[in-house]
Amino acid sequence: MKKDKVKAVILAAGKGTRMKSDLPKVLHPIYSKPLLGYVLDAVSSTGLIDESVVVVGHGAEEVEKFVTEYTDDAKCVLQSPQRGTGDAVAKAKDILADFKGTVLVICGDTPLIEAETLIDFITTHKNNGSALTVMSAIFDNPTNYGRIVRNPDNSLKCITEEKDASPQVKQIKEINAGIYCLEKELIFPLFNELKCNNAQGEYYLTDIIAASIEKGLKADAYILKNNEEIFGINSKINLAEATKILNKRTNLKLMTEGVTIVDPETSYISPETTIGKDTTIFPNVYISGKNTIGSHCKIGPFAHIRDGAQIGDNVRIGNFVEVKKSVIKSNTNVSHLSYIGDSELGEHVNIGAGTITANYDPVLKTKTKTIIKDGANTGSNSVLVAPVTMHENSMCAAGSVITKDVEANALALTRSPLRVFQDWVTARLNRGKSGEK
Ligand code: UD1
Ligand code: CA
């Protein structure tokens, strides 16, 4: 292990009882990405951390599966039973046995933390030469958080949990954000001394503060500037609130970069979507996953872009259109009521209202591709049964079901011939009156 890099320990073993869910808390998604994914991304985006240890417990198998698939830079360690945050960090001891240096401890349920903040936090810790730094924040309503208790000279004394706090301590508005930097060699030995004689009968990580001060080690608090970043998810209500906060942050950033968002309140855009300037997002648009959208596009109202969309410039994605895992090149229109999935659309393509790419074979459970080349047009209400290609400037007529490739400049039509019965309505009426069928 490299000595100069920082390691992270991510706490994700807790039960998350208040989520009232079968899904482990840290796997609840915001825009299809689990909460833990946000924390892993923030940690790796610092560029300072080369390895994370995720402490798993409740729903361990599922969480470990996610971590393994999500990143190569994290390992999981099991905490069973879950005996508190102090016990959880201690579980990382063996994996970090050879490591000498700084360990960042962070909870897996704080998806709004930003890499820049973590960088500043770690750098401050190192520059101060502290053995331990705890991130704190000043909250108007500090209820339920651990309180930062200071000495008269303002130096750190200890952290007291809400459940163990006296009425005086409960008045303190500086809270423990639950993110720490620890010098491993100095602090980890103290975990052996933790006791669980507190209101919850748990080994509190927070007791490490008093323990290290007692040993004469340097412990400091780093006061967070933007309290939103440590918003923790404990319930479905918090999950919705975090989504709102994240969305507001993303939309403000996009607008600063020149994207027009008509109603930021109703346009949900995942932070992993990039959008070019002068693109307009109309109300009630939902964009999740990783996508790129070019400049001068018009998206929505009521459009759904699901993941893996690569959309060029000057593209129109209109109302009630769903796009998934598709390339749509510049100057192409998908204006109304369509589904475009696993497809490649060239330039200057026009997709008629109600066109569907039928990409899924429910028997073989496979997905196949639809390719629509430059200048091709689909008639309204046509179904393109993948795998299928419509070549350059080809057309299909309204209501057609396209099951074979269509050559360049050709028209494909599967419509049954139109038959018109003169005076049919009058005849039907007369028959009805005489009792005939
Ligand atoms: C903890 C802090 C509190 C702080 C708050 C910030 C302690 C004792 N208290 O309280 O001072 O203000 O976070 O949000 O640390 N976990 C495990 N194993 C366990 C218990 C918890 O991995 O045995 C994980 C949880 O999954 C969670 C994190 O640790 O990600 C925090 O646990 P939680 O029970 O939510 O602690 P709080 O009561 O919020
Ligand atoms: Ca918590």
Which pLDDT tens digit goes with each residue over 11-65? Answer: 999 888 999 999 999 999 999 999 999 999 999 999 999 999 999 999 999 999 9
Residue 261 sits in the same domain as residue 384: yes
Task: Check whether residue 254 and residue 222 sit in a common domain.
Answer: no
Domain-located, residue 185: yes
Does 422 reside within a domain?
A: no
Q: Based on the fold, state whether residues 212 and 254 are members of the same structural domain.
A: no
The whole domain housing 260 covers 248-412
pLDDT at 157 over 90: yes
CATH code at position 342: 2.160.10.10
**Among this protein's residues, is 296 annotated catalytic?**
no
With respect to residue 427, please indicate whether it lies within any of the assigned structural domains.
Answer: no
Q: How sure is the predictor about 435, in pLDDT bands with cuts at 50, 70 and 90?
A: confident
Q: Which residues surround ligand 2, an ion (CB under 5 A)?
A: 232
What is the Å distance from ligand 1's center to 126 Cα?
24
- Does 259 lie in the same domain as 196? no
Residue tagged active-site, from 28, 58, 296, 336: 336
Cα 316 to ligand 1 centroid, rounded to whole Å: 46
Indicate the DSSP class of residue 406. B
Degrees to nearest 5, angle at CA 300 with 289 and 277: 75
The per-residue pLDDT for 434 is 85
The pLDDT tens digits of the residues spanning 102-114 come to 999 999 999 999 9
Cα separation of 345 and 363, whole Å?
Answer: 26
Using the predicted structure, report yes or no on whether residue 397 has a pLDDT greater than 50. yes
Q: Which atom of ligand 1 is nearest to the CA of 58?
A: 26
> What separation in angstroms does the CA of 364 have from each of 86, 361, 368?
49, 6, 11
Query: Atom 35 (ligand 1): residue with closest C-alpha?
Result: 14
- Residue 15: the pLDDT is 84
224 and 367 in a single domain? The answer is no
106 and 159 inside one domain? yes
Pocket of ligand 1 (CB under 6 A): 11-14, 55, 57, 79, 82-85, 87-88, 107-109, 145-146, 159, 161, 175-178, 204-206, 232
The helix or strand, by DSSP H or E, that contains position 85, with its residue range, turns out to be: helix 85-90
Give 436's pLDDT tier (boundaries 50, 70, 90). confident
Last residue of a domain, one of 165, 200, 230: 230
First-residue to last-residue Cα distance in the chain? 88
199, 321: one domain: no
- What pLDDT is attached to residue 1? 40
Same domain? 254 vs 198: no
Q: What is the pLDDT of residue 101?
A: 96
Q: Are both 139 and 288 inside the same structural domain?
A: no
Vertex 237, ends 235 and 240: CA angle to 5°?
Answer: 115
CA distance 205 to 209: 8
**Residue whose CB lies within 8 A of the most ligand 1 atoms, among 85, 180, 202, for a mutation test:** 85
Task: Give per-residue pLDDT as tens, 171-229.
Answer: 999 999 999 999 999 999 999 999 999 999 999 999 999 999 999 999 999 999 999 99
Ligand 1 atom closest to the Cα of residue 177 is 6
Give the chain's mean pLDDT: 96
- Whether residue 316 is contained in a domain is answered as yes
> Looking at the domain assignment, is residue 430 inside a domain?
no
Q: Which CATH number goes with the domain that contains 70?
A: 3.90.550.10
User: In 3D, which of 18, 19, 79, 29 has the Cα closest to residue 54?
Assistant: 79
Amino acid 249: pLDDT? 96
Domain count, the chain: 2
DSSP 285: -
The pLDDT of residue 136 is above 80: yes
Tokens representing residue 210 in the block: 């008093």
Short-list 163, 156, 147, CA closest to 196: 163
pLDDT reported for residue 433: 86
In terms of domains, do 179 and 323 share one? no
Edge to edge, the sheet with strand 395-396 lists 260-261, 280-281, 298-299, 316-319, 333-336, 350-351, 377-378, 395-396, 411-412
Predicted confidence (pLDDT) per residue in 293-323, tens digit:
999 999 999 999 999 999 999 999 999 999 9
**Whether residues 120 and 34 fall in one domain:** yes
- pLDDT at 2 > cutoff 60: no
Q: Does a structural domain hold residue 271?
A: yes
Distance CA 208, CA 175 (A): 16
Q: Are residues 330 and 406 in the same domain?
A: yes
- Model pTM? 0.91
> What was the pLDDT predicted at 186?
97
